[in-house]
């Protein structure tokens, strides 16, 4: 189960990243072109948000069944002193939770804004910050 989940989490990351990237690009094109925010733009942002949330849920399930979590519970010093294990057990999950919160805030915030440019800006900036945070803590050595 662990190996299958790891593979699915790794491959779904491509889908999530692509959809988030499309949402970011769409937002900045809409902002620079001073377009009106339409239902199509909202759907693009929702797809990016949904893909990121699915990735987060997959990561949470993977985190709960990962072998290094038992090590973290029994010997936290061993995890914290080993950089690759610390990345997988602490840094990657924490940074991705923060990124997912920011992406969600950007989407939620756009619903309360009145102007199209503010909506595009909210989605574009928060999604971009989220993606940068995600990319900063990807365990590249384990990437499939």
Q: What is the pTM of this model?
A: 0.92
Q: pLDDT for 80-90, tens place per residue?
A: 898 888 898 89
**Count of the separate structural domains present in the chain:** 1
The boundaries of the domain holding residue 56 are 2-142
**At CA 140, angle to CA 138 and CA 144, rounded to 5?**
105
End-to-end CA distance of the chain: 17
Show Cβ contacts of residue 18 under 8 Å, excluding neighbours closer than 6 positions.
none
**What is the rounded average pLDDT of the residues 27-41?**
96
Q: pLDDT for 93-109, tens place per residue?
A: 999 999 999 999 999 99
Q: Tell me how far apart the alpha carbons of residues 24 and 123 are, in angstroms, rounded to a whole number.
A: 7
pLDDT-based confidence at 20, cuts 50/70/90? very high
Q: pLDDT for 117-136, tens place per residue?
A: 999 999 999 999 999 999 99
């Amino acid at each position: 189960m662990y190996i299958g989940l790891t593979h699915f989490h790794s491959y779904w990351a491509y889908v999530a990243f692509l959809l988030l990237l499309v949402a970011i690009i769409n937002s900045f094109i809409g902002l620079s072109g001073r377009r009106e925010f339409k239902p199509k733009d909202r759907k693009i942002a929702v797809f990016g948000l949904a893909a990121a949330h699915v990735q987060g849920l997959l990561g949470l399930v993977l985190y709960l069944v990962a072998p290094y979590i038992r090590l973290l519970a029994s010997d936290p010093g061993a995890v914290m002193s080993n950089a690759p294990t610390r990345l997988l057990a602490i840094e990657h999950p924490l940074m991705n939770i923060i990124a997912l919160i920011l992406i969600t805030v950007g989407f939620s915030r756009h619903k309360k804004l009145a102007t199209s440019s503010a909506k595009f800006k909210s989605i574009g900036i928060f999604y971009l910050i989220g993606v940068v945070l995600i990319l900063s803590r990807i365990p590249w050595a384990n990437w499939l």
